[in-house]
């Protein structure tokens, strides 16, 4: 019976030693935020001036990430959000000028596309010996005309919104 107790004790000591060796070494590293880590090798820990913590249980607590702070001042509301009428008129004039320029460019593009399309019979090019290439170019021209007409309609809608 005495012999069995000694065997149990010896096995317990061996298990404790094995557990201590298998658990990762935890280091306490100096710095403005003191760092406790088990992700360093002994050489890295020595280089950074970290101390090995032995025998003390270490508890790691996950801290939730802080939420981003909202702007210091809330967005202006009511009369604070109003823009000076003169600057608003200037913005509207700029927007109208930009849309007018874009409308003019798109209308010129449409005229050129329709001229090239030639009512569904564009002139054949020298590189279109294969009839299928000609048909593909004609369908691409038609799709481009449709897209440009849609763009012109959208620009006109935007201009209508800016009109007083």
Looking at the predicted structure, is the pLDDT value of residue 22 above 70? Answer: no
pLDDT for 52 equals 83
pLDDT, tens only, 71-100: 555 566 666 678 888 998 999 999 999 999
Mean pLDDT of 3-31: 58
pLDDT for 47 equals 87
pLDDT for 128 equals 83
Looking at the predicted structure, is the pLDDT value of residue 16 above 70? Answer: no
Contact between 34 and 53 (Cβ < 8 Å): no
Looking at the predicted structure, is the pLDDT value of residue 108 above 50? Answer: yes
Question: Which residue would you say has higher pLDDT here, 14 or 33?
Answer: 33
Domain ranges of the chain: 21-59, 84-162
């Amino acid at each position: 019976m005495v012999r069995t107790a000694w065997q149990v004790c010896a096995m317990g000591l061996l298990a404790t030693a094995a557990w201590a060796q298998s658990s990762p070494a935890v280091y306490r590293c100096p710095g403005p935020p003191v760092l406790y880590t088990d992700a360093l090798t002994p050489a890295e820990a020595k280089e950074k001036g970290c101390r090995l913590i032995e025998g003390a249980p270490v508890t790691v607590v996950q801290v939730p990430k802080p939420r981003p702070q909202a702007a210091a001042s809330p967005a202006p509301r009511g009369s604070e959000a109003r823009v000076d009428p003169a600057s608003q008129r200037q913005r509207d004039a700029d927007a109208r000028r930009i849309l007018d320029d874009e409308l003019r460019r798109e209308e010129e593009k449409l005229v050129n596309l329709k001229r090239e399309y030639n009512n569904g019979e564009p002139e054949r090019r020298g590189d279109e010996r294969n009839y299928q290439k000609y048909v593909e170019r004609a369908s691409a021209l038609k799709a481009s005309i449709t897209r440009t007409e849609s763009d012109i309609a959208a620009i006109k809608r935007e201009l209508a919104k800016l009109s007083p």
